[in-house]
Amino acid sequence: MEILVCVKRVPDTSENEIEVNSDGTDIERDDLVYSVNEWDNYAVEEAIQIKDKVGGSVTVVTVGDEESEEVLRREMAMGADNGILLEDDAFEGSDGKGIAAILKAAVEKGNYDLILTGAQADDGAAQVGGMLAAMLDLPYASLVNFIDVSDDKKLKVGREIEGGNQEMNEIELPCVLSIQTGINEPRYVGIRGIRKVASVEIPTHGASDLGLGADAVGAGAAKVKRLDYFVPELGEGAEMLEGSTEEKVAKLIELLKAKGGIK
């Protein structure tokens, strides 16, 4: 199975304290540590596991600048076979639809049976997967937390739904799936893999390679614009539990039962 996984380089929220910058237009990006978006990493792990079971290849693709190459290389060190960087000044300032349009063009340059995205990105709006599927006119499932390859025409996919419930679907290939965290246990990036991919050339495609006009992508084409970044005002509702650890645990259990958290 030929699998394409769309990945994104995002600020690593476990390594950084995210703060809004002084004029409220963005987060403070100086000294941020970046990493691969967590959901995307689960998607790559799932793709590698599928490849290990049924054969084929895994390609990782990202829209970004040359700094984004590091996440491609990371995922290749993990086990993805190929990486593609989609980089062009014309891509800058794209909204979700613009990013989906760029990815669609990249998908059409290849021959993929399965396209995976993360369910959302740490700094995103959880829209690219669905839009990409619509643009490609392919079937789509969101919040996927289980995949079983039935045959070379169909997959069984589990989806997480409200209230901790689960549904199971059959979906025809080719299709687009957005992957939820917890679908697997992503492997560590081994040193051996890192050494192997250290000098691999990663191809870069720009707007003209993908046949994209400036009116379709980038800031000019963006119809969703961010107006403001701010920290919401603190509301009421937090209750600090007092007492010994045992007392706090007892109170917490009582509260969780009362609010329906424990059945």
Partner 1 sequence: MSHTFKTSCECQQYFTDSHDMVRKSLRDFIKKEVLPFIGEWEEAGGFPKEVYRKAADVGILGMGYPEEYGGIPGDIFYSVVVTEELMRSGSGGFVAGLGSLNIAIPPILSMGTPEQKERFVPPVLAGEKIAALAITEPGGGSDVAALQTTAVRDGDHYVINGSKTFITSATVADYITCAVRTGGEGAHGISLIVVEAGSPGYSVSQKLKKTGWWASDTAEIYFDDCRVPVENLLGDENNGFYGIMANFQTERLALSIMANMTAKLAMEEALKYARKRRVFGKTLTGYQVNRHKLVDMATLVEASTEFTYRVAAKIGAGIDQYKEVSMAKNFACSVSDKVTYDAVQIFGGHGYMRENLVERLYRDNRILSIGGGTTEIMKEIISKMIL
Question: What is the residue-wise DSSP string for 1-21?
Answer: -EEEEE--EEE-TTT----B-
Nearer to partner 1, 67 or 108 (CB): 67
Token pair in block for residue 172: 């025809």
For 155, the token pair is 């997959």
CA angle, corner 152, sides to 197 and 154, nearest 5?
Answer: 110
Distance CA 12, CA 144 (A): 23
Which residues of the shown chain bind partner 1 in the complex (CB under 8 A)? 35, 70, 73-74, 77, 188-192, 194-195, 198
Handedness of CA 103, 106, 111, 117 (dihedral sign): negative
β partners of residue 179: 118, 144
- Least Cα distance to 45 among 56, 60, 35 occurs for 60
87 or 113: whose CB is closer to partner 1? 87
Cβ nearer to partner 1, comparing 191 with 234: 191
